[in-house]
């Protein structure tokens, strides 16, 4: 399903961009790659954040200049995020042997998303080969995969690694008082800034920093636990 959806979106994006570019030179399409540092920010007191994790994104980007120094920017990205939390409350687990209690249980999440960022980009005039820009917008993100490693001193599972937390068939790995499923959507505010270096014609190298601040509860199915995954990224690419 992930492959089919990604392929369909890529074909649509390329078709639209080809037609727009053929008719209007104000439209540019490019390719980009980014490395990110992501984490889970606790909102409730029953979980704590454990450092940051590395991830990445890659995909297509397009700019449509509706005025000389303003453009609408849209992207299609495949994004990998991660983050770790530890439960400060004791978690209960019930099996055929009865119910046991477990403390300091750690969840190391790895999540894959299809992102569709859209923003307003503000540009300066070109200074020599250099143009400076800033952008602000939203980045709707749709979950395609969520896995977790569950660790701790007394974890009751035999092999608690690469668990697909949203898969109903993995109910044996779930605690009684914590729903570890990841919500299917993110809706973050996105802000960024960077530079372009002109090569020839519409071709330009692209580099920038981005801050992605999600406002949606990552554990929306669990009323007692609230956390939000966020990231900062370094982006590089090329416009054609």
175 phi, psi to nearest 5 deg: -80, 160
Instruction: Give the confidence band of 200 by pLDDT, cuts at 50, 70, 90.
Output: confident
pLDDT in the model for residue 126: 92
Per-residue model confidence as pLDDT tens digits over 72-104: 999 999 999 999 999 999 999 998 889 999 999
Q: How far apart are CA 216 and CA 232, in angstroms?
A: 17
Per-residue model confidence as pLDDT tens digits over 57-71: 999 999 999 888 999
Q: State how many domains the chain has.
A: 1
pLDDT in the model for residue 12: 47
Query: Pick from 148, 26, 156: which is nearest to 81 by CA?
Result: 148
Instruction: Give the confidence band of 21 by pLDDT, cuts at 50, 70, 90.
Output: very low
Contacts 24+ apart (CB under 8 A), 167-173: 172/95
Q: Which residues contact 201 (CB under 8 A, 6 or more apart)?
A: none
Task: Look at residue 184 and tell me whether its pLDDT is greater than 70.
Answer: yes
Instruction: Give the confidence band of 22 by pLDDT, cuts at 50, 70, 90.
Output: very low
Range of the domain at 151: 2-239
pLDDT in the model for residue 196: 96
Task: Look at residue 179 and tell me whether its pLDDT is greater than 70.
Answer: yes
DSSP 117-165: -EEEEEEPPPBTTEEEEEEEEE--EEEEEEEEEEE-TT---S--SSEET
CATH number at residue 45: 2.40.160.20
Average pLDDT over residues 103-113: 95
pLDDT in the model for residue 227: 96
Task: Look at residue 13 and tell me whether its pLDDT is greater than 60.
Answer: no
Per-residue model confidence as pLDDT tens digits over 115-169: 999 999 999 999 999 999 999 999 999 999 999 999 988 888 888 999 999 987 7
């Amino acid at each position: 399903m992930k492959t089919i959806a990604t392929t369909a979106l890529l074909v649509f994006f390329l078709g639209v961009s080809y037609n727009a570019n053929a008719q209007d030179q104000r439209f540019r399409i490019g390719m980009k790659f980014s490395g990110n540092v992501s984490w889970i920010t606790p909102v409730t007191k029953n979980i704590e954040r454990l450092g940051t994790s590395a991830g990445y994104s890659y995909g297509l980007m397009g700019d449509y200049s509706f005025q000389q120094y303003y453009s609408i920017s849209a992207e299609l990205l495949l994004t990998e995020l991660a983050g770790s939390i530890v439960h400060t409350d004791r978690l209960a687990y019930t099996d055929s042997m009865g119910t046991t209690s477990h403390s300091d249980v750690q969840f190391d999440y790895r999540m894959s998303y299809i992102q569709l960022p859209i923003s307003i980009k503000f540009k300066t005039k070109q200074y020599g080969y250099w143009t400076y820009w800033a952008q602000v917008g939203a980045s709707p993100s749709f979950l395609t995969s969520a896995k977790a490693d569950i660790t701790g001193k007394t974890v009751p599972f035999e092999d608690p690694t690469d668990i697909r937390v949203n898969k109903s068939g993995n109910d044996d790995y779930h605690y009684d008082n914590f729903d570890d499923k990841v919500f299917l959507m993110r809706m973050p505010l996105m802000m960024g800034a960077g530079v372009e270096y002109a090569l020839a014609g519409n071709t330009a190298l692209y580099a920038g920093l981005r801050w992605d601040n999600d406002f949606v509860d990552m554990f929306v199915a669990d009323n007692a636990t609230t956390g939000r995954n966020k990231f900062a990224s370094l982006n590089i690419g090329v416009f054609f």
